[in-house]
Amino acid sequence: MSQDTLFDKVWDLHKVSRLPGGSDQIFIGLHLIHEVTSPQAFGALKDKKLKVKFPDRTVATVDHIVPTDNQSRPFKDNLAEQMIETLEKNCLEHKIRFFNIGSGNQGIVHVVAPELGLTQPGMTIACGDSHTSTHGAFGSIAFGIGTSQVRDVLATQTLAMNKLKVRQIWCENKLSNGVYAKDLVLHIINKLGVKAGVGFAYEFAGPAINALSMEERMTICNMSIEGGARCGYINPDEETFSYIKNKLYAPNNEHWEKAVTWWKSLKSNEDSIYDDVIKIDASKIEPTVTWGITPGQSIGINQQIPLLDELSPNDKLVAEEAYEYMSFKPGQSIKDIPVEVCFIGSCTNGRISDLRIAAKVLKDKKVSKNVKAFVVPGSEKVANKAKQEGLDQIFKDSGFQWREPGCSMCLAMNSDKLVGNQVSASSSNRNFKGRQGSPTGRTLLMSPAMVAAAAINGKVSDVREFIS
Amino acid sequence: MESEFTPPIGKISQITGKCISLIGNDIDTDRIIPARFLKCVNFDSLGKSVFADDRKTLNGSHPFDLKENQDSSILIVNSNFGCGSSREHAPQALIRWGIRAIIGESFAEIFYSNCIAIGIPCFTLSKKSIQNIQKHNINKSLFLEIDLKNSTAKSKDININLEIKESTKKMFLSGEWDATATLLENSSLVERKFKELPYVRFI
C-alpha cells in the first residue's frame, strides 16, 4: 500500500468518514459540470427533494454540444438547444457559477478551469467527464464520475470511493526535438496497455516530466484514463505555481505565500512508497501515431503496423478487429497513409501552446487539396489569445478553417463529424470505432504538430522534416 | 421492454435470468452508446439504442439482436469492458435493454462505479472461465441464478464461484449502492471537513 505520496496526503485530507460498506467518503473540493452529464443529476435532486449543498464549489460551462460554426441562439439543433437551456436553468435555480458562450471564459471544461485558476494543487476535483484526470497536472486528485455521482456531489459535496493504489511512471531523460507530450503519453499507454491503470492513480515523474510546461503536463494527465487510470497527477513545482499566479481565481496576494507553502508540502516524499514503479526512457520516443481502435495501438512514425505474431496473446483479439475496421495491413508503414480530415483541438491538445506549435508548422504552407482541415480552440480565452498573436490568420492562410471553441469532433456531438470511412489525423484522445461521428470513420491520434504536417502532405508525415 | 422499465431499489441479493454473451476486449462506452444518443436530458429512451452502430454494422446478427437473446438479463463479457468515456448513459442503456448483472474478465473503473451507482452488480472470473461460459452459451441458452451473498452462479449443470469486491458486495446486500442517503447522514462531518481544508480560505 502506498505511503506519503501526494495521492495519500490529498486523499487523507479529504476523507470525511469510513462508510459501513468499507469505502471512504471523500470531500470534493471542486466540482465541474457541463450540459451532457448533469441534467439527469439535477432531475434526481428534484425527485429526492434535495438542494445543492455547496453551490460555490460547483462551476459550469458548456462544451460538448456547442456548434463551432454558428453559435447564435437558438442553436439549429433543437436537442443541443434544449441541453444548453436546461443547464442555464439549473445553474440559475441552484446559484451555480456558469461560464456561458460569450462570457469570455467558456470552453472545454478541462481547459477553462485551469486557465481561470480554479484548478489548484491539493484539491479533489470531480466532473462528469473521464478526462477530468487533466487537472492532476497541478497536483490535484481529479477523476471522472458518472451522472449518479454528479448527483451525489451536488447533494452532499462528497463521494463514496475506494482508495486507489499508486503507480509511479518515472520518465528519464528528455523528449527529443519534434517529440511532444502527446507522443510521450501515447508511448506510455502503448507500453503499459489500456487497462493497466485500472485500480491505480498514475504519478508521472522524472526529468522528462519536470521539463514540461503546464499545458504539456495537462496533455499527459488528460490521457491517464486512456491507460485505464481514472486519475493521473504530477507533483507541483515552481512551474505550477507560476502558471496559477494572478489567474482570476488564484489565491490572492494576502494568501499567496501561505498557499505556495502548503502546496509544496503536498509533494510525494523522497522516501514515499509506491505500489508499483515503471521506468520510461523519454529520449527514445519518436513522433507517435495510433493505427488501431484503442489509444494503446500506436507506433513510432518510422515503424510498421505490428504483425499478429509480434503481439501478446491478450492484444491479438483487438488487433484483428483493428486491422479489419481500419482496413490497414499488418506490416504496413504508418507513414504516408493518406488522411482526408485534420482536426486540431480537444481537452488533450486544444490549448494556446498546441495552436502555436501547429501554426509554426503551417506558416507559409498550404493544406493539401484532398484534406478538410479545421482547428477548434479549447476555450474563448485560447481563441482570443490566438487572435492577438495572429495565429488564426496563419491557420486560415494555410487552408485550415478557424472555428469557435468546444469539444467538436473529438466526440462529434455537434455537426463536426467524419463521413463514411474517412481517415482523420486528430489531436484528440480516442480512436474508438465510430468515435468521430461516423460508424465507419477512422481516427489516427497524434500530436497537433503531426496533424499540421499530415494536413500539408495529405498523408501521415514526420513533423521533424518540417521543423529541422 | 422500455415501457416496463423499473429501476432496482434497495437491497439486491439475487439475480436470476438468461445469459447473453458479447465477445471482445476493450469494448468502450462509445460503442455501448454512441455520442449522438447523449443528446438528451433524461435516460428514458436509451435502451433501444444500446450498441446502435455495432448492431447496424452486423445487420441483425449482433448478440443484442438475436432472437434467442431477447429477455436476457445477465451479460457475459471479456476484458476491460466499458473503457473510455465516463458516460453513465452506457450502463443506463444496458439496464433499460434488460441487463441486471454483468460477469466479465475485467471492467473499466468508471464504468464499474457507474454500474454500482445504478444497481448493476459486476462480477469477475478468469479468462478461461468466461470463455467456457461464452462457448457454452453460444450453443444453447444458459439460465443462471446469481446469489450475491455467497458469490455463486448456478444453473442445472454449472456451479460457478464469482468474484466481487467485498465492499461492493456489502453495498448491494445493504442497499447502500444508492449512496446519496448514506452520504447525507454525515452532513455535520462534511461541514467540519469543509472548514478544515486550507484552500477554501485562499480566495
Q: DSSP letter at B163?
A: B
Select from A25, A80, A194 the Cβ nearest to the Cβ of B80. Answer: A194
A419 and chain B in contact, CB less than 8 A: no
pLDDT at residue B31, rounded to an integer: 98
Q: What is the pLDDT of residues A177-219, one digit of tens each?
A: 999 999 999 999 999 999 999 999 999 999 999 999 999 999 9
Residues 48-77 of A with CB under 8 A from B: 48, 50, 53-54, 64-65, 77
Cβ separation A21–B194 shorter than 8 A: no
The average pLDDT across A120-135 equals: 98
Does residue B4 carry a pLDDT above 80?
no
Chain A CA closest to residue B25: A318
Q: Which residues of B touch A83 (CB under 8 A)?
A: 39, 41
Does residue B45 carry a pLDDT above 90?
yes
The alpha carbon of residue B43 is apart from the nearest alpha carbon of chain A, in Å, by 7
Q: B2-178 belongs to which homologous superfamily?
A: Aconitase, domain 4 (3.20.19.10)
Q: What is the pLDDT of residues A252-290, one digit of tens each?
A: 989 999 999 999 999 999 999 999 999 999 999 999 999
Cβ separation A16–B190 shorter than 8 A: yes
Cβ separation B174–A20 shorter than 8 A: yes
Q: Which residues of A touch B200 (CB under 8 A)?
A: 29
Work out the mean pLDDT of chain B and round it to a whole number: 95
- Provide the 3-class DSSP secondary structure of residue B153: strand
> What is the Cα–Cα distance from A84 to A66, expressed in whole angstroms?
8
In CATH, A165-241+257-284 is 3.30.200.210: no
> What is the Cα–Cα distance from A42 to A36, expressed in whole angstroms?
12
Do the first three CATH levels of A18-160 and A165-241+257-284 match, i.e. the same topology? no
Nearest to A206 by CA among A194, A192, A220: A220
pLDDT at residue A221, rounded to an integer: 98
Work out the mean pLDDT of chain A and round it to a whole number: 97
With a CB cutoff of 8 Å and minimum separation 6, the contacts of B3 are none
pLDDT at residue A115, rounded to an integer: 98
Tell me which of A197-206, B83-92, B165-174 is least confident. Answer: B165-174
Q: What is the pLDDT of residues A317-337, one digit of tens each?
A: 999 999 999 999 999 999 999
Does residue A239 carry a pLDDT above 80?
yes
Q: What is the pLDDT of residues A69-123, one digit of tens each?
A: 999 999 999 999 999 999 999 999 999 999 999 999 999 999 999 999 999 999 9
Percentage of the residues of chain B whose pLDDT score is greater than 90: 92
Q: What is the pLDDT of residues A356-371, one digit of tens each?
A: 999 999 999 999 999 9
Cβ separation B85–A411 shorter than 8 A: yes
> What is the Cα–Cα distance from B81 to A104, expressed in whole angstroms?
39
- Provide the 3-class DSSP secondary structure of residue B159: strand
Does residue B1 carry a pLDDT above 70?
no
Cβ separation B85–A145 shorter than 8 A: no
Judge if the upstream peptide bond of residue A74 is cis by omega within 30 degrees of 0: yes
Q: Which three cell numbers stand for residue A173?
A: 531523460
**How far is CA A64 from its chain centroid?**
13
Chain A CA closest to residue B189: A16
Percentage of the residues of chain A whose pLDDT score is greater than 70: 100
The helix (run of H) or strand (run of E) holding residue A259 is: helix A253-265
> What is the Cα–Cα distance from A140 to A133, expressed in whole angstroms?
9
Q: Are A150 and B117 in contact (CB under 8 A)?
A: no
Q: Which three cell numbers stand for residue A118?
A: 480554479
Q: What is the pLDDT of residues A381-437, one digit of tens each?
A: 999 999 999 999 999 999 999 999 999 999 999 999 999 999 999 999 999 999 999
> Structurally, what CATH architecture does the domain formed by A18-160 represent?
2-Layer Sandwich (3.30)
Q: Are A456 and A463 in contact (CB under 8 A)?
A: no
B2: pLDDT confidence band, cut at 50, 70 and 90?
very low
B140: pLDDT confidence band, cut at 50, 70 and 90?
confident
The structural domains of chain A, with segments of one domain joined by +, span 18-160, 165-241+257-284, 288-467
Q: ∠ CA(A359), CA(A363), CA(A367), 5° rounding?
A: 90
Looking at this protein, which amino acid is placed at residue B53? Answer: D
pLDDT at residue B139, rounded to an integer: 79
pLDDT at residue B88, rounded to an integer: 98
The alpha carbon of residue B51 is apart from the nearest alpha carbon of chain A, in Å, by 11
Select from A21, A86, A158 the Cβ nearest to the Cβ of B176. Answer: A21
The structural domains of chain B, with segments of one domain joined by +, span 2-178
Percentage of the residues of chain A whose pLDDT score is greater than 90: 98
pLDDT at residue B3, rounded to an integer: 55
What CATH number was assigned to the domain covering residues A288-467? 3.30.499.10
pLDDT at residue B202, rounded to an integer: 87
Cβ separation A195–B38 shorter than 8 A: no
Does residue A306 carry a pLDDT above 80?
yes
Spell out a b/e string for A261-277, using b for 16 or more CB atoms within 10 Å of the CB, else e: ebbbebbbeeebebbee
3-state secondary structure A72-139: CCCCCCHHHHHHHHHHHHHHHHHCCEEECCCCCCCECHHHHHHHCCCCCCCCEEEECCHHHHHHHHHC
